[in-house]
A and B are shown apart, each in its own frame.
Chain A
Amino acid sequence: MPEIRVTPLGAGQDVGRSCILVSIAGKNVMLDCGMHMGFNDDRRFPDFSYITRNGRLTDFLDCVIISHFHLDHCGALPYFSEMVGYDGPIYMTHPTQAICPILLEDYRKIAVDKKGEANFFTSQMIKDCMKKVVAVHLHQTVQVDDELEIKAYYAGHVLGAAMFQIKVGSESVVYTGDYNMTPDRHLGAAWIDKCRPNLLITESTYATTIRDSKRCRERDFLKKVHEAVERGGKVLIPVFALGRAQELCILLETFWERMNLKAPIYFSTGLTEKANHYYKLFITWTNQKIRKTFVQRNMFEFKHIKAFDRAFADNPGPMVIMPGYCVQGTVGHKILSGQRKLEMEGRQVLEVKMQVEYMSFSAHADAKGIMQLVGQAEPESVLLVHGEAKKMEFLKQKIEQEFRVNCYMPANGETVTLPTSPSIPVGISLGLLKREMAQGLLPDAKKPRLLHGTLIMKDSNFRLVSSEQALKELGLAEHQLRFTCRVHLHDPRKEQETAMRVYSHLKSVLKDHCVQHLPDGSVTVESILIQAAAHSEDPGTKVLLVSWTYQDEELGSYLTSLLKKGLPQASS
């Protein structure tokens, strides 16, 4: 029985360390290769020894697919390919390929330089790893080998985020990565065609949330920033993920433009600045507005937004600053979590006089969005990853209820096995098809039709041909298979008369068949022969000999059952 097996090594009932193994029709694919933010020990990377203990990974995996450049989806890649060892192809989209090394390098710096970790991957390893990457375009079907093909769909979320369809023959799996169904200021919405995969593996970060309209969020945000700036205040906006920073930049930039504001906006140097360079280049991956207007002006060429320098900190007047994410333990984090008094080094106590606002600009699909995507793709079953177990439970129940499909939510290391019934293509010879067409009415999609032919299986190749051709091809002689059957009929009359009665009876019943009465006293229906003979012992009983070939089995058995019922008495 063919089946699809899915084993999450990470992101099973969990967020972070996305890494899912899929076996489909004998092909093994690894989806994403991320790290976990929450751990600093071995658990931060997926356990690759699950795949093989001592063999080379390359022998076991046909390909690796990276959905987007966030570290929880690609952070373990250099470790996996260089330190564990994998030489096969790694697929990702062009923007991911461009931005991914920047993030990896940043991650390495923090781990090695700041935290002083040893035995971590090096810059060279990142470079070597990126050499194994094969970049794909949206909607481009890439043949990994003869049978395995993958195709990327737009996923929103961040620049270059993609959903991947993995297909072998007629079996397919779609992996969504992270996606967003509501468009934002710089990215469009995820979109997939009705590809009807066997399995849809979807993220479920917001499995139990339906979000408010983004316009309210944006309006609130802009209003608050605007008010603060008008009062002459400074605004600090800590932004967690790369991509969200760009989103807020675009939002502020357009607002500044529209309102003709003059206050400067700064973002922290480093990551955002480097990545922004690529944002300017990959315009085709952005939303309608940016794509349409970039000829006049590239929206990522900010006029009001500049990189921040520490020297600006004491500048008078209003300004907006977007620092990076506030890691636990930093002053920023303390302020965010609501502390009103801060103890600085040297026992200095500072009172927090700033206002703190919290706003969510997350780019994940909410429950409604997930349902919408499932509805668009029409999968046979759904598998949830990248979310919390309790929330998944709820969504799982909803999906099963609404779409009447199976829904799975395996934990890390747990394998889900899905039996599939792949359709097997069979070639039919034109001659046979035409002959069938000539015989009957046009094919009707609603009614099945019976067709006689011979199925030839030759090196995993199926063909349906007419039996004559099959015989010729295989060099076999034709054998006739004939069924005969005796039917006892109580009839005192002569044999000829009996035959005559049979003839007239059949003639009246089988109106659309050719019934003939031959001169030698036998009756034929098409190619079926019926002969009447007197019973050797009882002259009152006649024996009807019915004989038909294998091909006429249907008609023949119908005839015998008809004759067994006896002849109508009233006739003659």
Chain B
Amino acid sequence: MAAHLKKRVYEEFTKVVQQQQEEIATKKLRLTKPSKSAALHIDLCKATSPADALQYLLQFARKPVEAESVEGVVRILLEHYYKENDPSVRLKIASLLGLLSKTAGFSPDCIMDDAINILQNEKSHQVLAQLLDTLLAIGTKLPENQAIQIRLVDVACKHLTDTSHGVRNKCLQLLGNLGSLEKSVTKDGEGLAVRDVQKIIGDYFSDQDPRVRTAAIKAMLQLHERGLKLHQAIYNQACKLLSDDYEQVRSAAVQLIWVVSQLYPESIVPIPSSNEEIRLVDDAFGKICHMVSDGSWVVRVQAAKLLGSMEQVSSHFLEQTLDKKLMSDLRRKRTAHERAKELYSSGEFSSGRKWGDDAPKEEIDTGAVNLIESGACGAFVHGLEDEMYEVRIAAVEALCMLAQSSPSFAEKCLDFLVDMFNDEIEEVRLQSIHTMRKISNNITLREDQLDTVLAVLEDSSRDIREALHELLCCTNVSTKEGIHLALVELLKNLTKYPTDRDSIWKCLKFLGSRHPTLVLPLVPELLSTHPFFDTAEPDMDDPAYIAVLVLIFNAAKTCPTMPALFSDHTFRHYAYLRDSLSHLVPALRLPGRKLVSSAVSPSIAPHEDPSHQFLQQSLERVYSLQHLDPQGTQELLEFTIRDLQRLGELQSELAGVADFSATYLRCQLLLIKALQEKLWNVAAPLYLKQSDLASAAAKQIMEETYKMEFMYSGVENKQVVIIHHMRLQAKALQLIVTARTTRGVDPLFGMCEKFLQEVDFFQRCFIADLPHLQDSFVDKLLDLMPRLMTSKPVEVVKILQTMLRQSTFLHLPLPEQIHKASATIIEPAGESDNPLRFTSGLVVALDVDATLEHVQDPQSTVKVQVLYPDGQAQMIHPKPADFRNPGPGRHRLITQVYLSHTAWTEPCQVEVRLLLAYNSNSRIPKSPWIEGGEVSPQVETSIEGTIPFSKSVKVYIMPKPARR
């Protein structure tokens, strides 16, 4: 029923909104600023019943209010508030007051008195809570005003004794957000009673309502966030809350304990029931560890996460987290990990064939066994075995962070991480492999551990295997058997999954260059050379053989004795691979050919500086030569664009900057070309069709500007201004061209109006940057704005035309870090001759695998487009879960695209490509007034579109007619 009602309410809203919009549109031509307050007043007076009034208020809340009229609106609302008997209407008014006070440019101190006033007479708890919320909004708006803060805090303290939990909640929130910081204590002399906010909030830790307790802890955390130093006394209070009945209280308490432990890590606390004392951070660590076995998984996740950031904890506490004293019939038993270690150190390889391997040894004293350790014992053992994978992931992350800061802990946690490679959830496995990679600098894998790690190479998930390859890239192996084992397993992997070829080669490259001395004794075996006999020459195209060679050649780089072991054909193969796979095979100092290779390596480093200089210089040249004759300018631009493009291809690190600048120059070039068209000199009616070039140029500039704005990561505001400026010029050009080619004035009216609105919008958005745009198109345009507003379209066009010609070329400042978004589709490869057959009318799933570089927020921007031969285009939004993030700035899209079509007579190719969606609104900050996806007022100016940013791939498909 409730859902039905809600739906009805929404239905009515949508209707109302549409009407309102029309109204605004019509009004806008006549009135510049309709008085909101007057309309509201009339509405509210008209309202006969509370339900009506509520409706009006709800409608009112959908529209923004300008800063100037807020005050008036507030007065009317307050006036109505006093008269209103219905609490729901009062509630809405109270919430509106809060919203209004958030309006930018409005100072809410004038409504505070009224708000406090009505608070005193209010009886309804809900309205009280809402009013306190409003006060909170006011208070946060005026953070500097001490007097107001103190007054609000007083109000909050007074209402803390309210019987409703909602009111107490809000009071605590208010205290947390506005409670005086310690600075204000100095004001004591003025007679302002500064209360001890922490004490007040602390008293509510034992409130009867769990929601209030939670709010109290949250308020305390809020105080901490605002920079107030919490008292150490809170620690004991918070510890008591850890055994609260309600999970949200416990969860918040864990956070609070963590905060306090970070504030006073070194202070000493006594251990109850003994005379010992320990550091606070250790105690807190123990307590949070205990929460890892809490009954609620929310608390467990929270606790596990926080453990990771407690780096000051002493090492013996840390190591306890991995220790769960094993016991079998009261005899101490060694863990499987300990056994494995022992076997390893005794030199015996684990066979698992011995009976009674895990037989318990020593008898233990029953009194000494402590089943519930007060401390950290086994926290991670529990966390990693938890039922919920969220907890397990949090535990793995925490392990990672702690291991990064403590090498000895890293060594110890290795066994556990390796165990996590066998988790049932792939995410957890992946996470633990990544974690292992991060801490791999600190560790050396034992052979038995390596064995377990390598077993995962057979995993059928490509993500897992690739993550593991990356892990192996930076692993330290201790023995030559280890290297051999790794190689064998990688080759096995290669035969099982041939698609992993590149990844495996890369992995072996690093493995070789890290362990040259371990590879050396293996070389004869690996190359199967024989001291007396010549062996058959291996097949050069065999990926496995190439893999072995990659390992050996990379090891040989730092091991000069190794080439002596090579046979003749190995040298030939080296030469071949050095050419064909130069990124995998390093330059070697081989006996016969010394100097060729050595020349290459030193030349890399100093190379980038001159190219950057070159880039700078060529851009300088363009910007300085503004008043050259048109022909010269065009040529210079053309050459510079060409240079930049070539530079981008050669120097990958400069590709972003070069492309970005080249695009900008191209826009400029197009603009210049368009303005030099002959058509401007011809009388208007004569060239109806010939203006194609100019309008095409305008369109292309627009497209390029969108590309500049949205396809590059690292674009700063100063570039955005220039880009928008360029777009504005393109729009002006478009207007002029249309004005010249169309007859009649009517359509021009609308276009002019729209253009002027856009200029206005530009001014509003970039008001801060306008001083940088001296002498530019928009600068001049704004000077003439009053005149343009009043003049007729024909005149406007004339003015624009002259201005466009006079405007100077703006200098585009180069951003620090700029990268062009790019995508490569790995799969489908587009080489298959076998069409994908499916029954028409049904769907076929096409696996798409692509790597994305420098795409911000790919989850919402990247789309897949499928173009059918009949021109039909289909756009697919991949699920957010389809994006993986293997490294900074890199993303991987692995998704399935569903294709369907009516029957064809023969197979044909469809094109698949990736698009980058953009929305011109996304860069503009939203006003607080518009909340929850309501219709934004800038809707008219927002432009959505897509930019293709990958090469398209052809897929051969064949929808067959359905068989009857």
Chain A positions within 8 Å of B, measured between CB atoms, are 182-183, 185, 188-189, 191-194, 208-220, 222-224, 226, 254, 257-260, 287-289, 338, 355, 357, 367-368, 371-372, 375-376, 391, 394, 397-398, 402, 442, 445
Contact = CB atoms under 8 A, between A and B. Distances in A.
A367 B355 CA distance: 25
B206 A220 contact: no
Given A402-B371, A445-B206, A182 B385 contact: yes
B389 A215 contact: no
Nearest to B461: A258
A446 to B, nearest CB: 8
Contacts of B314: none
A260 B464 CA distance: 14
B564 interface: no
16 contacts: A183-B387, A208-B328, A209-B329, A210-B327, A212-B326, A222-B422, A223-B452, A259-B459, A260-B496, A287-B387, A288-B388, A289-B389, A289-B425, A368-B324, A391-B329, A445-B208
Contact of A216 (B293, B335, B369, B496): B335
A371 B371 contact: yes
B115 to A, nearest CB: 26
A244 B460 CA distance: 26
B71 interface: no
B424 interface: yes
A23 B601 CA distance: 88
Nearest to B360: A209
Given A222-B422, A288-B389, A367-B327, A212 B335 contact: yes
A289 B324 CA distance: 26
Given A212-B333, A216-B335, A289-B425, 9 more contacts: A194-B245, A210-B326, A213-B336, A215-B422, A257-B460, A259-B458, A368-B371, A368-B378, A375-B372
Contacts of A216: 335-337, 419
Candidate in A182, A185, A212, A222 with the most chain B CB atoms within 10 angstroms: A212
Contacts of A210: 324-328, 371
Given A210-B324, A258-B461, A398-B369, A219 B387 contact: no
A208 B330 contact: yes
Contacts of B459: 258-259
Contact of B424 (A185, A223, A226): A185
A442 B161 contact: yes
B329 A398 contact: no
A208 B329 contact: yes
Contacts of A185: 424
A216 B461 CA distance: 22
Interface string B440-461: 0000000000001001001111
B371 A367 contact: yes
B366 interface: yes
A391 B369 CA distance: 14
Interface of B: 161, 206, 208, 245, 293, 295, 324-330, 333, 335-337, 352-353, 355, 358, 366, 369, 371-372, 378, 381, 384-389, 416, 419-420, 422-425, 452, 455, 458-461, 496
Contacts of A391: 329-330
Contacts of B378: 368
B389 A394 contact: no
A223 B418 CA distance: 14
B355, B378, B422 pick with most chain A CB within 10 angstroms = B422
Contacts of B328: 208-210
Given A216-B337, A220-B336, A287-B387, A376 B208 contact: no
A209 B331 CA distance: 8
A376 B422 contact: no
A355 B353 contact: yes
Q: 5 tightest A-B contacts by CB?
A: A216-B336, A183-B387, A215-B419, A210-B327, A259-B458
Contact of B336 (A192, A212, A258, A367): A212
Contact of A258 (B161, B324, B386, B460): B460
A397 B206 CA distance: 33
Contacts of B385: 182-183, 213-215
B246 to A, nearest CB: 9
Contacts of B422: 215, 218-219, 222
A469 B455 CA distance: 81
Contacts of A442: 161
A394 B366 contact: yes
Given A288-B387, A402-B371, A191 B295 contact: yes
A222 B451 CA distance: 13
Nearest to A394: B366
A218 B421 CA distance: 12
Contact of B460 (A223, A260, A394): A260
Contacts of B416: 213, 215
Nearest to B457: A259
Nearest to A260: B460
Given A215-B422, A368-B324, A194 B295 contact: yes
B242 to A, nearest CB: 12
* Most central of B206, B293, B389 by chain A CB within 10 Å: B293
B381 A213 contact: yes
A367 B372 CA distance: 10
A482 B940 CA distance: 88
Contacts of B355: 338
A127 to B, nearest CB: 36
Contacts of A357: 352
A372 B290 CA distance: 11
A410 B369 CA distance: 24
Nearest to B387: A183
Nearest to B364: A208
Nearest to B244: A194
A287 B325 CA distance: 27
A437 to B, nearest CB: 10
B208 A259 contact: no
B491 to A, nearest CB: 15
Contacts of B389: 288-289
Given A194-B295, A216-B337, A397 B455 contact: no
A151 to B, nearest CB: 16
Given A208-B329, A289-B424, A376 B384 contact: no
Contacts of A394: 330, 366
Instruction: Specify which of B326, B387, B425 lies most central, judged by the most chain A CB atoms within 10 Å of its CB.
Output: B387
A538 B358 CA distance: 99
Chain A CB within 10 Å — which of B378, B424, B425 has the most? B424
Nearest to B207: A445
A59 B161 CA distance: 54
A338 B354 CA distance: 12
Contacts of A367: 327, 371
Contacts of A212: 326, 333, 335-336, 358
Given A213-B324, A260-B496, A397-B366, A254 B424 contact: yes
Given A213-B384, A258-B460, A371 B325 contact: no
B387 A188 contact: yes
Contact of A259 (B245, B352, B372, B460): B460
A51 to B, nearest CB: 35
B327 A208 contact: yes
A138 to B, nearest CB: 15
Nearest to B208: A445
Contacts of B424: 185, 254, 289
A224 B336 CA distance: 14
Nearest to A183: B387
B853 to A, nearest CB: 30
Nearest to A192: B295
Contacts of B208: 445
Nearest to A254: B424
A208 B161 CA distance: 51
A215 B335 CA distance: 12
Nearest to B429: A258
Contacts of A258: 458-461
A210 B206 CA distance: 37
Contacts of B295: 191-194, 376
A299 to B, nearest CB: 9
